[in-house]
Amino acid sequence: MKKWKWTKQRVTNLFFVIGVVAVVVMFFSFDMSFADLWKRICDAGYWLIPILGLWLFIYAMNAVSWGMITNNVKEKHHRIGLWRTYKLTISGYALNYTTPVAGLGGEPYRIMELSKDIGNQRATSSVILYVMTHILAHFIFWLVGIAIFVVLALTGFAECTTAIAIMTVITTAIIAFGIYAASLGYRHGLVVKMIKAVGRIPGLGKWSLRILRRHGHTFLNIDEQIRMLNQQDKRTFYSSLGVEFLSRMVQSLEIFFMLQLAGAGSENLGMLYLQSVVILTVTTIMSNLLGFLPMQLGGQEGGIAIGLALLGFMKEPTGADALLCIGVFCRVREIFWIIVGLVLMKINQTVKMKTAVIMAAGMGTRFGDKTKVMPKGFIPFNGVPMVERSIRTLVRCGIRRIIIGTGYHKEYYEELAKKYRPFVECVFSPRYAETNSMYTLWNCREAIGNDDFVLLESDLVYEKSAIESLKTCPFDSAMLITPVTKFQDQYYVQMNDRAELVNCSTNENDIEPSGELVGIHKVSNKFYKILCSEYEKIVDEKPKLGYEFMLLDVSQRVTPMHVMKMNGLQWYEIDDDDDLRYAEENVMI
């Protein structure tokens, strides 16, 4: 029986279920009937638009701030698009709201998803750096909010007793220490130190040592990236911090809108905004103190009440209504954006591929006289040319654009393209005799454009489920393998426990094989552009390089190519007459 284990897809599904449960809990946590809640929502009218819509801009600013950190690389094709970052930002914060401890759900989810694009190490350092920036921006915002409160208190617009003054001084000192600690983390790194600190907790010492032995080098690299951002690229650091801080200032407009809805606060809009900053400062401090509670239940409402009381709102006739209004609509907004975040987790979870690329430039010399008059892809398998069988299968699987990289006997494929117009187009490689499959794939770059695609070879016979499984697998880029099936010419593949490609070899004894390469792959456009960029550096030096070796090189050095293993798949790669006879007798498709 196959051992059950956590996969990225299963973890994502778990987060999704937690989020749904949390939304249900939040619906029943309102201190009013649903009829009263609905009446308040209806009475709010058009005010709901700025209250809910404001977070479009706040999350966009968060995404820009995070994107500055993530995309702090020279190569443009190594960068993450704004929409991808925006989507993960919204979903990440939705999970942070719903999980029992702040950051327990959102940050692991962001790392897990981002690692599909840029690898685990860079994804982890990116998320850690952003979290540090987010926290530091909060500290600075709190100092600004406290400074505004002090000015308001000195001018008689806020209450300040001796107890309040003492608490203000203590809070300011704690925040200042937090900023100092954050600056140390930026200068010296903090991941290794945090794991060592956890190891001092009774019962966790062995765990800490085991983690450091297994991943110590990776953690040191992450700490180095943290130091480099602060010390060598101060412009990116301060820009990211500045945008994140401004997002907190923009968030204060939410309180501003709610106070206007409740008819509370100063009639002077400038003064009302300053009061909103103070209320948000107190609310977020309280919420973060109680961050171990899911949805910060109680902490947020308590912070709102304290903020309103400090500004004297609770003495006004509209004070109680302002407290209720802010508390209710903050919850309504949270539920709305949690639902949006959960929906975004499920949207585009798989790459909707409509394009396929078939490698068909080779001369197929192992077939002898048969390939003197036709290319290998046209050798019939049970009466149908192998490449034509692939085209029919691809079209049945929803592929609507098939690019064939041609070379030897290109005229056969050009005639086939006419037969299957408009699905099929050909890209000729004039250097086919002196190059190999990677050159053919690179030569198709203009035709591929910005498409994600299924990559396969012309000499394969396989079941339809091979294409369907790849298209729906959770990885953006994946190499299909099976248990060993051929009696000759096996190409062995090794993957790690994260299903990432780590090694390939034609010799089983050189690696710890996880299975055999099928020759069908799922390739995201981002991965393909990295592949082409890396190949351009060596194209003149290694024109005979097979694309499999380039996939491995990029997966090892730049960004991971994942591996998907299918058991029971009927398939065969046909390189000569012996292969053809064996496949026709044993591969039932």
Distances (CA, A) of 52 to 16, 31, 32, 88, 324: 22, 21, 21, 19, 17
Of 295, 321, 346, which one is at a domain's C-terminal end?
346
Whether residue 33 has pLDDT greater than 80: no
Whether residue 2 has pLDDT greater than 50: no
> Could you tell me if 412 and 374 are in contact, meaning their C-beta atoms sit under 8 angstroms apart?
yes
Give domain status of residue 544, yes or no. Answer: yes
Give domain status of residue 6, yes or no. Answer: no
Burial of 275 (0-12, 13-18, 19+ CB in 10 A): buried
Q: Look at 56 and 508; give whichever has higher pLDDT.
A: 56
Task: Examine the domain organization and report whether 75 and 109 are in the same domain.
Answer: yes
Average pLDDT over residues 117-137: 82
Task: Examine the domain organization and report whether 389 and 300 are in the same domain.
Answer: no
pLDDT of the residue at 297: 52
Give domain status of residue 4, yes or no. Answer: no
3-state secondary structure of 420: coil
Give domain status of residue 565, yes or no. Answer: yes
Give domain status of residue 2, yes or no. Answer: no
Residue written as token pair 């001092």: 200
Give domain status of residue 578, yes or no. Answer: yes
pLDDT of the residue at 412: 95
Task: Examine the domain organization and report whether 422 and 289 are in the same domain.
Answer: no
Task: Examine the domain organization and report whether 328 and 426 are in the same domain.
Answer: no
Residue written as token pair 């008689």: 156
Task: Examine the domain organization and report whether 336 and 434 are in the same domain.
Answer: no
Q: What is the pLDDT of residues 278-330, one digit of tens each?
A: 999 999 888 777 654 445 555 677 778 888 888 887 777 777 778 888 888 88
pLDDT of the residue at 218: 66
pLDDT of the residue at 366: 87
Task: Examine the domain organization and report whether 102 and 133 are in the same domain.
Answer: yes
Task: Examine the domain organization and report whether 573 and 514 are in the same domain.
Answer: yes
Distance (Å, whole) CA 545 – CA 436: 6
Cα pseudo-dihedral 120, 126, 129, 133, rounded to 10: -150
3-state secondary structure of 291: coil
Average pLDDT over residues 409-429: 93
pLDDT of the residue at 527: 93
Give domain status of residue 429, yes or no. Answer: yes
* Euclidean distance between the first and the last CA atom of the chain, given in angstroms as a whole number: 27
pLDDT of the residue at 430: 93
Whether residue 103 has pLDDT greater than 60: no
Q: What is the pLDDT of residues 538-550, one digit of tens each?
A: 999 988 999 999 9
Residue written as token pair 């299903």: 499
Distance (Å, whole) CA 15 – CA 108: 10
Task: Examine the domain organization and report whether 142 and 104 are in the same domain.
Answer: yes
Task: Examine the domain organization and report whether 185 and 130 are in the same domain.
Answer: yes
Distance (Å, whole) CA 515 – CA 566: 9
Whether residue 58 has pLDDT greater than 90: yes
30 contact partners, CB below 8 Å, separation of at least 6: 37, 328, 331
pLDDT of the residue at 351: 47
- Closest among 101, 110, 100 to 131, alpha carbons compared: 110
Of 319, 346, 373, which one is at a domain's C-terminal end?
346
Q: What is the pLDDT of residues 177-193, one digit of tens each?
A: 988 888 887 777 767 77
Give domain status of residue 5, yes or no. Answer: no
Task: Examine the domain organization and report whether 387 and 531 are in the same domain.
Answer: yes
Distance (Å, whole) CA 297 – CA 27: 12
579 residue type, one letter: D
Residue written as token pair 């780590």: 502
Task: Examine the domain organization and report whether 406 and 517 are in the same domain.
Answer: yes
Number of domains in the chain: 2
Assess whether the previous peptide bond of 202 is cis (omega < 30° from 0): no
Cα pseudo-dihedral 263, 265, 266, 270, rounded to 10: -100
pTM flag (> 0.85): no
Report the range out of 168-172, 223-227, 320-324 with the highest average pLDDT. Answer: 168-172
pLDDT of the residue at 80: 78
- The pairing of strands 401-406 and 492-495 is unpaired
Whether residue 230 has pLDDT greater than 90: no
Mean pLDDT score across all residues of the chain? 84
pLDDT of the residue at 233: 72
- The pairing of strands 515-523 and 478-482 is antiparallel
pLDDT of the residue at 1: 42
pLDDT of the residue at 32: 67
Of 320, 346, 372, which one is at a domain's C-terminal end?
346
The CATH number that applies at residue 406 is 3.90.550.10
Distance (Å, whole) CA 65 – CA 45: 32
Percent of the chain with pLDDT over 90: 40
Q: What is the pLDDT of residues 324-379, one digit of tens each?
A: 888 888 888 888 998 999 888 877 554 467 899 999 999 888 888 888 889 999 99
Structural domain boundaries, residue 579:
355-586
Task: Examine the domain organization and report whether 86 and 181 are in the same domain.
Answer: yes
Contacts 24+ apart (CB under 8 A), 330-336: 330/254, 330/258, 330/300, 330/304, 331/26, 331/29, 331/30, 332/41, 332/52, 333/51, 333/52, 333/55, 333/254, 334/26, 334/97, 334/295, 335/23, 335/26, 335/27, 336/52
How many CB atoms are closer than 10 A to CB 32? Answer: 12
